[in-house]
Amino acid sequence: MAQKRTIHSFFTPDPKKQRTTTNADQDETPTYSTHNTYPFPIRDLSKSITKELASLPARPGKPINDQPELDLVYFEPYIPLYLAKDLFRFLRSELPFYRVEYTIKRFGVETHIRTPRYTTVFGLDHTSLFDDDDSSIILDAKTHTRINPAEAYPRYSPRPIPQCLDALRKSTEAATNCKFNFCLVNYYASGSDSISFHSDDERFLGPEPAIASFSLGAARDFLMKHKPIPPPPDGRTAPAFKQLKLPLASGDMILMKGKTQANWLHSIPKRTGKSNQYDGGRINITFRRAMVKGGTDNYYNYNVGKGPVFRWDDTAREMKEWKTTARPSPNISPNPKSEQEEPEKAD
Ligand SMILES: O=C(O)CCC(=O)C(=O)O
Ligand SMILES: [Fe+2]
């Protein structure tokens, strides 16, 4: 008879499946992705993890399309638990993060927004390419001639997707038949970090964008609700939409596509209560495809910004400001009129 598993044993990798901490991995000399825009070199995944990612998804995706204009594919999970656990720890330790603040005009009033989570982004829109042989060179995607990044991307220098995220991008492209040129990462340090209801329907993603969204670490609820619609004429009853609540677990992936972004909003609400085996920390990775230069500027502005870099401190078990003499001090607009959390993601 099969042995009964305790709750603890579900989070303790099965020895037969502990392929990510093999002797081969431990003996491997680490390699790093480097670029002049990275605040520090970003470690590459081991050969064995890279190979495993290429063989995913662990389970085929299931469509969720039983409501008007809703078009999702839910991979539950895409990354098996033992691997998701390693990948969560790896990315939390190795990526640079930011706590972006910005000012927007809301109802004619300058409002200071503090993004309620850590973020980072890598990638370049469809009009340009990093040179395969030298990623410090950016090429025009059509002519393959060199462009001047200071002219084409004056506010933020684009960052190539580091190997540790690019391996997952390649796997996701193969599994979904979609193409992605951007990777956005959110880190929710605890239940008080969140993302408010919004849709990723920015014009620079083109019509009917496909967005692949991965969860690693603590489980959090992903809520979806239909955008408000005008009341139908001549007293007819408005269609009823049900709100969705998907308790996304480590390793899960949701592909949002078709008319979803144009018609539905999604959010990760704040959560109270106990933390779990991941200290309550959760990483979200989204792969997207930006079509025009404005998309690149927008993504860096709201996910990197001009403020300080944060990096995971494994002794303190929290994100700490990462100091370097090579980087200018934070550049945050002084004396904001009011401060509040993001209302909705700005375009
Ligand atoms: O954390 C998540 O699952 C959602 C993130 C998200 O919606 C976004 O970054 O646009
Ligand atoms: Fe989103």
In tens, the pLDDT along 65-85 reads 999 999 999 999 999 999 999
Rounded to two decimals, the ipTM of the complex is 0.99
Judge whether 167 lies within some domain.
yes
Query: Which backbone phi and psi does 94 adopt, to 5 degrees?
Result: -100, -20
Report the chain's mean pLDDT, rounded to a whole number.
Answer: 88
The atom number, within ligand 1, closest to the CA of 345 reads 10
Let me know if residue 85 belongs to a domain: no
In this prediction the pTM is 0.88
Domain enclosing residue 309, as ranges: 91-192+199-219+272-341
Nearest residue (by CA) to ligand 1, atom 3, is 284
Question: What is the number of the ligand 1 atom nearest to the C-alpha of 184?
Answer: 9
Phi, psi of 150 (to 5 degrees): -65, -25
Q: Is residue 204 part of a domain?
A: yes
β-pairing verdict for 109-114 and 339-341: parallel
**DSSP string covering 118-154, please?**
EEEEEE--TTEEE-SS-TT-EEETTT--B--HHHHSS
CATH number at residue 124: 2.60.120
301 annotated to a ligand binding site: no
Ligand 1 pocket, Cβ-based, cut-off 6 angstroms: 184, 186, 195, 200, 213, 222, 266, 268, 284, 286
The model's pLDDT over 15-37, given as tens digits with 9 standing for 90+, comes to: 334 444 455 677 789 999 999 99
In order along its 347 residues, the chain shows pLDDT tens digits of 333 333 333 333 443 344 444 556 777 899 999 999 999 999 999 999 999 999 999 899 999 999 999 999 999 999 999 999 999 999 999 999 999 999 999 889 999 999 999 999 999 999 999 999 999 999 999 999 999 999 999 999 999 999 999 999 999 999 999 999 999 999 999 999 999 999 999 999 999 999 999 999 999 999 999 999 888 887 788 888 999 999 999 999 999 999 999 999 999 999 886 655 556 899 999 999 999 999 999 999 999 999 999 999 999 999 999 997 554 444 333 333 344 556 555 43
Q: How far is the CA of 345 from the centre of ligand 2 (A)?
A: 8
User: Is 226 known to sit in a ligand binding site?
Assistant: no
Q: Could you identify the atom of ligand 1 that is nearest to the CA of residue 117?
A: 1
Lookup: tokens for 193: 């970090």
Look at residue 149 and tell me if it is in a domain. Answer: yes
Burial tier of 232 (Cβ tally within 10 Å: 0-12, 13-18, 19+): exposed
CA–centroid distance, residue 296 to ligand 1 (Å): 18
Residue 17 lies in a domain: no
Would you say residue 292 lies in a domain?
Answer: yes
| 188 CA: nearest ligand 1 atom | 1
CA of 234 to the centre of ligand 2 (A): 35
Q: Is residue 4 part of a domain?
A: no
In a domain, residue 25? The reply is no
Q: Indicate which ligand has the atom closest to the C-alpha of 184.
A: 1
Q: How many domains does the chain have?
A: 1
Residues in CB range of 234: below 8 A, 6 or more apart = none
